[in-house]
Amino acid sequence: MRSPTLQYFYLEKPMTLLILITFISVILWIGKGDFYTKGEPREASVAVSMLEKKQWILPEAYADEIAYKPPLTHWLMAVFSLPRGEVTPFASRLPSALAFVGLIIVSLLFFGKNLKFQDSFLAALILLTSFELHRAAMTSRVDMLLTFLIVWALTRLFRWEERKKLKGFPVWAVAILGLAALTKGPVGIVLPLLVFGVYLLFLKYNTWKIAGKLIPVALASLLLPLIWYFLAYQVGGKAFLDIVWAENFGRFLGSENLSIHYDLGHREAWWYNFLTLAAGFIPWTILLLISLFGLNYSKKIPGVKSLWNAFIHQDKIKLFSAIAAIVIIVFYCIPLSKRSVYLMPAYPFISIFVAQYVLYLRENKTKTTSIFGIFISIIACVVSLIVLLTVIFPVIDPVSFVSLFVKKQRILDEIAYTWQSFQGFSMLPVLLLLVLLYSIFVFFIHLGKKNYLKVLYSTIGVYLALNLVLDGIFLPAYKDGISVKPYAQSLEERYPVKENNLFVTNDLFKFGSNMYGMNFYMHNRFKNFEKEQPSEGLFLIGKDAFEKVSQYFGKDYQFTLLEEYKNKARDGERVLLLFDFKLR
């Protein structure tokens, strides 16, 4: 085994290369495109409250709504926003992008110091290109930072056992676990220690020794988040405790066990997690599916005992990775609420096995990796043609063309909004198209020479270039095309919108769906109509929800419709109504 110093220098250049690729494929594009869903502006509005209202402990982000999550991600958003003095999409997405870089580095170092370089480098590339991680890296959410901190903590705990046999105290791991809890609550401590505890059981540590080692780690990790929870309780009182209970325990127990009305959302069956894993590992899921047609099914399948022996006698790092992946997936099968991003901490530990299987295919089933590369390249060629004929030389109307195959009006509308948001000719689509075409050319050169390792890596190059085209050309146009930002700006220009006269309902009262994007682009001005019950002002609400509001408040208030807006974004209801109101 290489010495620690040699190991570091052996990985330094690949790590630098991966950081550069990550920067080009992710960080360059996070500032392009407005918010277009509810999730991103909901988190970004918390940072707005921190900057503008100096609410650093427990911000109120939407009509007096208390922030759902602990504040580490929002603190970072606010800090990154200080140079410009305002929260922007770039600043609010930067914590996720940097956490993604950190995840790639930690994974490469963790596997690279214990396994073959080719395995660990390919595993890092698999992480870099996996759909779920790539998407999360470019969004203003807490999940990517949580993933990075959980994985980093797990690697530090592994080193604690590997090098010191649990002697001493893992100060670094404790600090990282505390930060994870400050990102999304106790799960940042519970899940890594659960994984590590199960791993220690497989290493045949005494149960009492495991408890004696992990309980002090858990208690020490709680110190930092408990300080924040105490301060937040001083600000929010019982309302804060209700949100904490709902977010951290209600998702496991169910809404019927909550002391407040709280919509957990995302209710799915346990098998939903496996569907999201398959989708999240695209494009590699495609390669795994192709490989199924080339396997030799005539071989005798090993028995359960043989598989179990092979499992428990793996290298320690592979055993740890397998246990981590299984425990994380099983853990998130328990709660009623399920989302694809919950499983992201399992991705690095799954990726090492995917990498080894891909390298096995490259050695023994070369046609499989070649077919996979050809498939990705064909998709890239189609996308290149679309860019050429609809963006660079717009000779085809994409809406008319797609309408030949798709009849759903919402899809056609979104395509129309996307193409309307393009601002004439620019060099960026030309440059990105050239990069994509060059990557396709390189792939077919290596395919012709039958250098199958280069075929594999050039396939990854084609897919990375394809992401550049999607992230640099189409996705920003799509975001801008359906964003509520233009409508929010027009309301401020055409109506006397002030700090205290624009009211909405809050969805905790089930009058409608919250409009977090509108709130963000109107500078966090929304006030809570139910709570304040004002005498007059402006009232913004979804068309369907207004029926409930009129039944509930119609006797006391007179609502005069000012305008109706067809909402293009996934933010609130499909149709928004603006009213002028006053007490009867």
According to DSSP, residue 533 is labeled -
pTM, to two decimals: 0.93
The tens digit of pLDDT for each residue in 53-63 reads 898 999 988 88
Neighbours of 151 (CB within 10 A): 28
Give the pLDDT band of residue 259 (cuts 50, 70, 90): very low
The set of residues, in sequence order, having a beta carbon less than 8 Å from that of 226 and lying 6+ positions away, is: none
Tell me the H-state helices in 338-484.
347-364, 366-387, 398-402, 409-420, 427-449, 452-469, 475-482
Read off the DSSP letter of residue 342: G
Per residue in 33-77, pLDDT (tens digit) is: 999 888 899 999 999 999 988 989 999 888 888 887 899 999 999
Cα–Cα distance measured from residue 258 to residue 236, given in angstroms and rounded to the nearest whole number: 18
More confident residue, 380 or 453: 380
Q: Token pair of 503, please? A: 């009211």
Q: Which tokens is 207 given? A: 């149960």
**CA distance to 70, 72, 98, 350, per residue, from 180 (Å):** 10, 9, 15, 21
Mean pLDDT of 268-297: 90
Give the pLDDT confidence of 491-549 residue by residue, as tens digits: 999 998 888 899 998 765 466 678 999 999 998 899 998 888 899 999 999 988 898 88
- Position of tokens 């007179």? 558
Model pLDDT for residues 389-433, shown as the tens digit of each residue: 988 888 888 888 888 888 888 888 888 888 887 766 689 999 999
- The residues, ordered by sequence, that sit 6+ positions from 121 with a Cβ below 8 Å of its Cβ are 14, 108, 112
The tens digit of pLDDT for each residue in 332-356 reads 998 888 889 999 999 999 999 999 9
Which candidate, 83, 91, 96, places its Cα nearest to that of 44? 91
For 497: left if phi > 0, alpha if psi spans -120 to 50, otherwise beta; the answer is beta
Is residue 455 a contact partner of residue 446, using CB atoms and an 8 Å limit? yes
As a whole number, mean pLDDT of residues 480-489 equals 92
pLDDT digits (tens, 9 = 90+) for 540-578: 999 888 988 888 888 899 999 999 998 888 788 889 999
Instruction: State how far the Cα of 325 lies from the Cα of 328, in Å rounded to an integer.
Output: 5
**pLDDT the model gives residue 3:** 47
State both tokens at 514: 């919250």
DSSP state of 406: -
CB 72 within 8 A of CB 183: yes
Residue 113, pLDDT score: 84
On average, the pLDDT of the chain sits at 89
Coil, strand or helix at 140 = coil
Amino acid at 234: Q
Tell whether the model's pLDDT for residue 2 goes beyond 50: no
pLDDT score, position 262: 52
pLDDT > 70: percent of the chain: 93
